Structure 1
Amino acid sequence: MTITINRLLLRADTADGPYGTDIVFEKGLFILRVENTHGKSTCINSIAYALGMEMALGQVTSKPPFPPSLLKNIQNENGTEIPVISSYVMLEVSNDRGQTCTLKREILGADAESIITVYESDIESISNNGRNLFIHLEGDTSRELGFYYWLAEFISWDLPLVPNNSGRESPLYPVLLFPLFFVEQKKGWSSIQATTPFHLQIIQARKRAFEFLMDMDINETVNSKAKNKKLIDDVQEKWKQIYTQLESVAIRLDGKAQGVKDAPAATFDPFKLDILIEHQGNWQSLTSALIGLRADLTQHVKASQPQVAEQKNESLLSKIRELNNIVLQEDSKYEFLLNEISFVKNQITATEVRIENLVDDKRKYEDLKKVKSFSILDDLPVLNNECPTCGREYSDHNVEIECSDDLMTLEESLEFIKSQITTFKSVLNSYKMQLDIKKIELSKLEKQIDKHGADISRLKTELYSERNVLDEESLREKIRLENQITEYEKGLVAVGDFRSTFDILHNQYKHLISLRRNFPEHGFSQKDINKLDGLKTKVVKYLSEFGFSSFDPQLLEISQDTYLPTREGFDLGFDTSASDGIRIIWSYLISLFSLREIFKTNHPGILIFDEPRQQEANKFSFTGLLKGASDAAKSGQIIFATSEEEDVLKGALEGFKYTLHSYSPSEGKILRKLNKGA
């Protein structure tokens, strides 16, 4: 599971002929020494660009990370600027399975941003049978013609799916891993993984990258938790949709749903799910209301008989008087309901305000409890009721309280407030339920008043009609009862379906909640803990060798939350000098590299530093870095690009294995005119 850089070829074609450079790399510690502003970072960034990793160089776009010498104009040996016609980079790489491939990517060209050509050979043996692979487009990590898909297979990475901000899963893009083994000069030294791109919307991208590179078991736990949360969210959303449908059925029947809430709870009894219907002044279950309605229909049919005109007129007059009385009663009840609804609304508002005040009191008491818990404040006068000015004791209360008075402690007060919040929330729910019921009653009453008004008008019209017909009102009432019975029967069938659906969803919900509770609290296996302990040991060792002086390196810890070096829970960036901050990055990344020799990891066995001697780190520290890198690089490849003096490098590494590729200042810039045919 490694990748090795074998050769880098940069070329810019101009009217004056080709310009560029050709660098052959070696395994172990490889040092590219170039003067500042002479093309050192251009070469290092070319490696990242050829690997499709330019977005991990601290820039937010896939724009080629190169100076004008490869994009616009290049200077010849006389300092004259010559327009660049086209430019490209070729990178020869190999892996631990014996495969060698060459990657070619246009720098100035039509396909610069989206195509990388892969040749299954070294640079010298390239033919025209390269494969064009796309990059920075959907599917570049999951499809066979995607470059990241090819790169993952070449390195033997089995990239996992990780949670993203949309609630779904995305592949762990290789570009997120790059800052753990490549540090560019401008932004890369500000902190560990400083150039990790976040536009890919991966949740906790740095942590996911570390977990994969270290091959930690917690990555599977994180994925399982994310899948579990997504499934729970789906069940809750489905539940809410079904609940809305149930409410719609209840409203259509002028009733109210009971026995189920708009979100799944710990318990659910499907037989308690029902629709309450107001029948003959009482709220009854839908089944009871249906039985009562059928009885009403039977009684109405028996009482209905043909009538002669005189009998009909008397009956109509009696019915009109009866309806008028009913309307008067309903108008009175309507006003009463309006007043009750207004009262309940006021009670709801007052209760919500009370809950808000209690929650605020609870927060204040919790803050006071936190302050009281700080042992450093134990002897402060402000906590001992002692005036900080004169030293006299004072009381917390406006009225002096005798010692015999029974006062609640801070804990008791906090528990009392919590119980009050629970009580008032219960009261609030009760008021809201009352409000819903009264709104249903009001709506039903409005319909009844409208219906009775229409019935009175119709009866008056029939009263003055000369036709001797059957009681039309009786027939209308019969039809109304039959229609209502039909609606109740449909509602009863729907309730049965709702009970079955909610029961299935609740069983799914309970199963998912049970799985969630069984996830390990911190998610770390013993293997993960051993790896983090091993990382700490390595980092402490290298910090000591590199001259870290802000504090004793033995005090360092590796956070189980961020996986970064900390001291007493705080990021080391707040407790170190700038030069020691650089030493931390050196130590951390070299430790990740060298842990491959102890544990199974997914580290690709390569580490690249561009100008590692940042913040004027002293020469002794830099010497320690070079020696430590030489030892670590025995099982892989570490590339340093530096402008340090050649004599200093050779002196520091005397007796150590390394390869030095140095460009003398007298030779000019690293991008220079090539011989014809090169």
Structure 2
Amino acid sequence: MFKINKLRVEILTDKSENINDLYGFEFSFNQGFNIIAGPNSRGKTTINSCIYYALGMEELLGAHNEKALDKALKEEFSIHTHEEVNYKVQFSKVLLEIENDQKKISCLERYIKVNNDGSKTTNIGVYHSTLENLYVEKNTNTAHEIYFLNSRGNNDDPNGFYSWLGDFAGLVIPSVSNSSRSSKYSPLYLQIVFSALFIEQTKGWSEFFATMPFFGVTKAKEKIIEFLLDLNEISLSTQKDILNRDKDLILEQWTRKVKSFSYLEKQSNSTIINIPQALTIDKTQIEKISVVFSRSEEEEEKISLPDIITEKEILVRELENKPLTTIKENREEAILEYNTQKNKYSELKNYVDKFENKLNIEFKQLDNLNTQLNIINSEIKDHLNLKKVFSENIINERGANHCPTCSQEVSTNLISTKNIRIPQLTLDENTNFLRSQKKLIESSLLSLKSTINEKEVLLSYFQNSIREKEILIKSISKDLISDDRAFSESDIVRKLQLEREIENLTNLRISVADLKSDLENLATKYHNNTIKINNLGESEKEDEKILEDFEKSYKDLLFNFGYESNEKFKISINRKEPFKYFPVYKRFKDDTLPQSIRINSSASDFVRNIWAYTLSLLIRGNNHPGLVLFDEPGQHRTNLNSLKELFKSCSHITDRQTIIFTSIDKQFNDEGEKLDLEILINGLNKSNYNLIQLDNVQKVIRKL
């Protein structure tokens, strides 16, 4: 665990007389409950965002690096004295003093606006010193390191900041299953964990862990809870995720193998029966798969593959032993055979033409998918280049914002957010979305290519069949126009074709046997996979005890905060999917269809849910980093009594740190109640909270 001791921002301006003439702010925080209160537009958001930024968590605010910060910290700000004076920012940085439960203190230093000395906003400096002694100790070579952010490996590389922060806070970050990693595993990224700790004002009150970034972690919200509460299930569930992914792959392969039988059917004009569509581990079900042929289209009588091979072998032997006949002797038989083969040829030719047209359409689909894939790859490349542009601070140079492509000036905020609320995705969120689209297209391409390859093989077979019929028809036709005394060639051609048919049927028998063997291997893999999953077992009894304590804490807090949407016995922490580890509404105790607490609560009551849930994780979480930050918890017409209870509950949490940013003296519900700070803190033990009250007139940035 760790706590925040001090926050300091230093700004060098165009009006600074020397490099020691700095502007900014500095605040101290205590263990336990901290309140930052003030009227709107006085700097609460600026202070709040600086904490996020100093800890490398600005991604939870929807942006990377200094883009998440207010322009007052990186461009210009004003100070009102007798008149308004504007100051242009030349250089700025934030410093945050933190302390872990081993009493070890470190000071984090991160630049906001840099000069040309090589400093980067993508790095965080860590000094092993208090903030007070930092500058004195710098002169005596205070030990410090530089750690990187916003790059691959920042959670598990020893030089990554989140790796250092996890170690400092005493957190053993587990490996979890990750669909975006080729290794199938990744760390449980700290940015994901902190979405359960830091509740920001814009999106944070709309859903549990609403600001959680996407990194491909499987069931990320469940993993957060398992980690914070130190459940045994986190190691089991990670293994289950991998095994379930393997299970899905086995089922997918089974479906493909079953589909292969249908292509063999078309290729051989046969029927393959007793194919188990669903995966089975019963070997006898697989052994029952067999091939049959119809005697004719009119007859329902079926003949098995071994029998039809035997019949054709007998016909070959008969033709071998048959004496040569003249055309005259075979004329009537030849005319009948000619008409029969002509009709079969026409039917087959029409079918193949339609088949080939459909195949050409699939080739066009393949071209379209490849074009889409190229576009997606190009967009991903553009996003990565843009990310580099922002991370290297290319746009923000010499106090002006210019597009690096066309050199036109651009505003820091393209859309004013005063009266408009438009969801904005970060570059990383866009890139992750594009990568997910790429995976979908690649999956479609793989499936389509497989289908096309199979159909090309089938088309080749059809074309060969057409050629064979053309040879036979040509041979019979030649007999019909030849001298009656000449020997017939059709028997010889027929014998050769029968031999080819026997060869094809033999290959069919081998192919079916191979597919049956493949199904048996998949069934064995599935069986072994199921055993491994079952051996993992369910959550142990210790997990259930932890969840019971967590649920009790959550429900007690929830109803203390004035929750009214449902009765207490209808609310619980769900143990299984859906909504695993999250509050649900149940009509009765054994209700098998739990419903989301969000859709079964009023807007203000759902905010109370987030208060209670977040604080319960703080209180009960053995792996909790030890602090919670609420930005403007008085959302969606909550009432003053509820807020007062929230402040009271936070003041009772003395062994961990809570920080609340709240506006004051503004109406915040339909009853006309105002956020009265005196009412909120009335009755609290003064030793149990630290109040930072901002000026009613001046903004937070001033001369240091």
TM-score by length of 2: 0.66
In structure 1, the residue matched to 2:379 is: none
- Which of 179, 201, 220 does residue 185 from structure 1 map onto? 201
Q: 1:622 to 1:330 in 2, by over 3 A?
A: closer
Matches within 5 A, 1:482-561: 482-513=499-530, 524-543=539-558, 546=561, 556-560=571-575, 561=578
CA distance in 1, matches of 2:520, 2:566: 60
- Which of 244, 250, 259 does residue 229 from structure 1 map onto? 244
Q: 1:586 to 1:237 in 2, by over 3 A?
A: closer
Aligned partner letter, 1:301: E
Q: 1:525 to 1:662 in 2, by over 3 A?
A: same
Contact 1:162/1:208 (<8 A) preserved: no
Aligned partner letter, 1:81: N
Q: 1:474 to 1:129 in 2, by over 3 A?
A: farther
- Which of 135, 143, 146 does residue 149 from structure 2 map onto? 135
In structure 1, the residue matched to 2:451 is: none
In structure 2, the residue matched to 1:605 is: 626
Aligned partner letter, 2:651: S
1:630 equivalenced with 2:648 (yes/no): no
Matches within 5 A, 1:61-460: 64-78=67-81, 79-97=84-102, 99-109=104-114, 114-119=122-127, 121-123=129-131, 124=134, 125=137, 131-155=145-169, 156-162=171-177, 171-188=187-204, 190-191=205-206, 193=208, 195-197=210-212, 199-200=214-215, 202=217, 204-220=219-235, 222-261=237-276, 263-265=278-280, 267-269=282-284, 270-277=286-293, 283-304=302-323, 315-328=326-339, 450-460=470-480
Moved more, 233-242 or 98-107: 98-107
Aligned partner letter, 2:97: E
- Which of 39, 43, 46 does residue 39 from structure 1 map onto? 43
Aligned partner letter, 2:46: T
Q: 1:337 to 1:183 in 2, by over 3 A?
A: closer
SS in 2 for 1:195: coil
Aligned partner letter, 2:615: I
Contact 1:15/1:83 (<8 A) preserved: yes
Contact 2:468/2:497 (<8 A) preserved: no
SS in 2 for 1:21: strand
The structural deviation recorded for 1:98 is 5.1
Aligned partner letter, 1:669: K
The structural deviation recorded for 1:324 is 1.0
Contact 1:163/1:223 (<8 A) preserved: no
Contact 1:165/1:203 (<8 A) preserved: no
**1:51-106 deviation digits (Å, cap 9, x = unpaired):** 2222323x376663322211321224542222222332222333335554433333
In structure 2, the residue matched to 1:587 is: 612
Contact 1:152/1:159 (<8 A) preserved: no
CA distance in 2, matches of 1:138, 1:244: 40
Contact 1:12/1:19 (<8 A) preserved: yes
The structural deviation recorded for 1:118 is 4.1
- Which of 643, 663, 684 does residue 653 from structure 1 map onto? 684
Q: 1:301 to 1:120 in 2, by over 3 A?
A: farther
- Report the structure number with the largest CA radius of gyration: 1
Q: 1:14 to 1:304 in 2, by over 3 A?
A: farther
CA distance in 2, matches of 1:118, 1:321: 101
In structure 2, the residue matched to 1:30 is: 34
Moved more, 226-235 or 66-75: 226-235
Contact 1:228/1:512 (<8 A) preserved: yes
CA distance in 2, matches of 1:620, 1:252: 77
Moved more, 64-73 or 117-126: 117-126
- Any gaps of 5 or more consecutive residues in structure 2? 17-21, 350-461, 588-594, 665-675
**1:133-168 deviation digits (Å, cap 9, x = unpaired):** 443444443444444344334331323424659996
Contact 2:342/2:473 (<8 A) preserved: no
**1:222-272 deviation digits (Å, cap 9, x = unpaired):** 444433332222112323333454554554444343443455346443443
The structural deviation recorded for 1:205 is 4.0
CA distance in 1, matches of 2:346, 2:59: 69
The structural deviation recorded for 1:663 is 4.6
SS in 1 for 2:23: strand
CA distance in 2, matches of 1:229, 1:547: 42
The structural deviation recorded for 1:648 is 6.3
CA distance in 1, matches of 2:64, 2:73: 18
The structural deviation recorded for 1:315 is 0.9
CA distance in 2, matches of 1:337, 1:622: 79
Aligned partner letter, 1:457: S
Q: 1:477 to 1:449 in 2, by over 3 A?
A: closer
Q: 1:245 to 1:650 in 2, by over 3 A?
A: closer
CA distance in 2, matches of 1:248, 1:550: 58
Aligned partner letter, 1:135: L
SS in 2 for 1:105: strand
**1:538-596 deviation digits (Å, cap 9, x = unpaired):** 23443565566677767653344534445545666567676655544433322222224
Question: How large is the Cα RMSD of the aligned pairs?
Answer: 4.4
Aligned partner letter, 1:87: S
- Any gaps of 5 or more consecutive residues in structure 1? 306-313, 339-441
Q: 1:301 to 1:580 in 2, by over 3 A?
A: closer
Contact 1:28/1:638 (<8 A) preserved: yes
